[in-house]
Structure 1
Amino acid sequence: MDWQGLLRWSMQYADGTRPSEFKQMDEETKQWLKDALSSIVVDDNEIMQKGAKILSELENGSPEECEQKEKAAELILQVIENLDMAKNMVKLGHFKHIIKCMIGSQYQSVRKICASIFMSAVQNNPPVQENALAEHALEGLCARINEETDLQLKEQYIACISGLVRGQYADARDKFIQMKGLDIINLLLVSGESPRIVKKCLLMLSDIIYNTRSKGNEGPTNECLNLGIFDTLNYLMNSQDSEIVEMTQWVLHNTETQCKN
């Protein structure tokens, strides 16, 4: 696997996860984790704080540590569905640890759970989307999807990007476009690695075209033409997946482009 993109991301953006800045998990933290998992009443904010602390600590590669980080991430996932808790996570400075584990943890299982946390937190939540953008989550995710070999995790990363760039928070969408995001979408549509990836890309494409054209910006639509994305869409109209066909039709509707069957 080519790790150059991730290495560049880590060197450029990491500010609190370098090994020299980590501490090994202390016994008090280990005991708290056991208590929380034993259904002892624990405040949601405390779960966020302690869980983020565990995720931020130096990884030594041991099975025990992997299990502890999995459990900490799972506890955070249980409380993060509340939008206010997601905002609190940002205010308390914990979200950056989720992002860095999602992208850079050596434990695939931890990356998957943190990706689930990220998806839940950013969905239609502009303050959290803003923080994710400031923490360079978009750069890290784009680097990851080019190199990830685990299909399920790659699908999660694409879903994370989709949740970050879609909706009313225009800065993330604009940043994605500037980062050649339409090229990324086109490559993913052409490769067709899984129906889920195709559908997430169609959602992003439809959102980008609709929200930019509604503001009089034809640039992204013209870029789609130049990249041959509409040729790809015509091909997808022949898909055996009816949902993909329906979503493709919606993209074409947003572009006012007639598809030739």
Structure 2
Amino acid sequence: MAQEGPDWNGLLKWSLAHSDGTTKPPQNLSEEERRWFMEAMQSQAVDVIKRMKEITLVMQTPDKVLEEQGVTSQDIEELLDELQEHVESIDMANDLNSIGGLVPLIGYLKNSHAGIRAKAAEVVTTIVQNNPKSQKLVMEANGLEPLLSNFSSDPDVTVRTKALGAISSLIRQNKPGLAAFRLANGYAPLKDALSSESIRFQRKALNLVQYLLQENSSDCNIVRELGLTRIMMHLASSEDAEVREAALRGLFEVARDSKSGDSNLAKDGEKLKQILQERIKSIIDMAPDDLGAAKEERLLVDSLWNACFNEPSSLREKGLLVVPGDDAPAPDVASKLFEPPLRSQAAQLAAASKDSSAAEEKRAPLLLGLGSPSSGGDRQT
């Protein structure tokens, strides 16, 4: 019987034979080799679309039917993991809506299982990231509404964090998304996120606040009125370096607003000065290795001090704004990642081939038995 699907073993042998890591003159492919390779790649693309359609079928199936077939919430999460891998390709992300998968995916944001709600938000994040077309499609499918609901009031902090990540990706470089976020009073749950005990939640909230202020400096007034500046000042003393830096970036955006910067921080000027002085003292006391790692924090502290008090910080006077090693070139770690394309793909195909049997066994229960015995495999409703 002829083999179905692409000849992965043949592709592996071909790619290894044509890409062994040595420097060789480019080899011209024969027309037959080129045609064979393109057919293999196209077959794989067709297989991915087919698999995405199968996953869509599962997402469209009522929960009660899935439960009757023995499908668990963990099975659904694993299925969403697989879908996320597929939609990392922008083309596949945009195709998800065409095959009917976007709406049921958004529906999973309201699922009764926290793990499914969180994973669905992760998939949405991947779909809309740097993808204006899918951003528009998600907005048209009212995807922002359940994300905002989960972000603001879900009892599970992981779900809230994942929803915030999806919102951040959805509204970036997306004017309708930004407008909808502001109209829905998105800043209010941001205040709760900044006050959370979850470091990851705080980081994501701080990064979004900075982006919003960069996009519209008039939002500085909202930040002040809601008390976000005081929370950011508190977080500027966090034990987590990334939280400290993100808080300092947010405060700097407020301070440098020429129209409202003074009014936004003037009331808390002495408190802010005290916090910055404490950060300066901590930086002065740092070991050389820690000092190098705190390069961005050093620059932020000095910039914020200068913006608020119209003078350079004492870090400049002590010569700590720039320290030895700051301008050293980064270690060369990227070259290891740039394998010849076919070899890199061949390694992935080899791993995929090795795990294919186990993967098929895992997936089968999700797709078998969805139809009644008399329906010839049609989906139950």
- Residue type of the alignment partner of 1:172: G
The change in CA–CA distance for 1:248 and 1:70 in structure 2 (over 3 A counts) is closer
CA distance in 1, matches of 2:152, 2:227: 20
TM-superposed CA distance for 1:180, in Å, is 0.5
- Of 55-64 and 222-231, the range deviating more from structure 2: 55-64
2:192 pairs with 1:187: yes
Q: How does 1:94-243 map to 2 (within 5 A)?
A: 94-101=101-108, 103-165=109-171, 167-190=172-195, 192-213=196-217, 218=218, 220-243=219-242
Partner of 1:31: none
Q: Which has the higher contact order (CA 8 A, sep 6+)?
A: 2
RMSD of the TM alignment (CA)? 2.2
Aligned length: 214
TM-superposed CA distance for 1:193, in Å, is 2.8
- Residue type of the alignment partner of 1:138: L
TM-superposed CA distance for 1:194, in Å, is 0.4
Partner of 1:90: 97
Report if aligned partners of 1:89, 1:95 keep a CA contact under 8 Å in 2. yes
Question: Any unmatched runs of 5+ in structure 1?
Answer: 1-40
CA distance in 1, matches of 2:76, 2:201: 27
TM-superposed CA distance for 1:228, in Å, is 1.4
- Residue type of the alignment partner of 2:223: C
Question: Any unmatched runs of 5+ in structure 2?
Answer: 1-43, 266-271, 276-381
- 1:50-94 per-position Cα deviation (integer Å, ceiling 9, x unaligned): 211211111117282225533432331221111121111133332
TM-superposed CA distance for 1:210, in Å, is 0.2
- 1:176-203 per-position Cα deviation (integer Å, ceiling 9, x unaligned): 011111111112112x230110010011
* Aligned partner (choices 74, 80, 94) of residue 81 of structure 2: 74
2:53 pairs with 1:53: no
- Residue type of the alignment partner of 2:190: I
Structure whose alpha-carbon radius of gyration is higher: 2
> Where in structure 1 do 4 or more consecutive aligned residues deviate above 4 Å?
none
Q: TM-score w.r.t. structure 2 length? A: 0.52
Partner of 1:43: 47
- 1:98-130 per-position Cα deviation (integer Å, ceiling 9, x unaligned): 1111x1223333333322211111111111111
The change in CA–CA distance for 1:70 and 1:245 in structure 2 (over 3 A counts) is closer
CA distance in 1, matches of 2:77, 2:245: 38
CA distance in 2, matches of 1:145, 1:212: 22
Partner of 1:26: none
The change in CA–CA distance for 1:134 and 1:193 in structure 2 (over 3 A counts) is farther
The change in CA–CA distance for 1:69 and 1:187 in structure 2 (over 3 A counts) is closer
The change in CA–CA distance for 1:228 and 1:108 in structure 2 (over 3 A counts) is closer
- Residue type of the alignment partner of 1:70: E
- Residue type of the alignment partner of 2:189: I
- 1:191-219 per-position Cα deviation (integer Å, ceiling 9, x unaligned): x2301100100111111110123xxxx1x
Report if aligned partners of 1:52, 1:72 keep a CA contact under 8 Å in 2. no
SS at the partner of 1:240? coil
Identity of matched residues, %: 21
CA distance in 1, matches of 2:220, 2:128: 26
Report if aligned partners of 1:55, 1:72 keep a CA contact under 8 Å in 2. no
- Of 128-137 and 70-79, the range deviating more from structure 2: 70-79
CA distance in 1, matches of 2:231, 2:79: 42
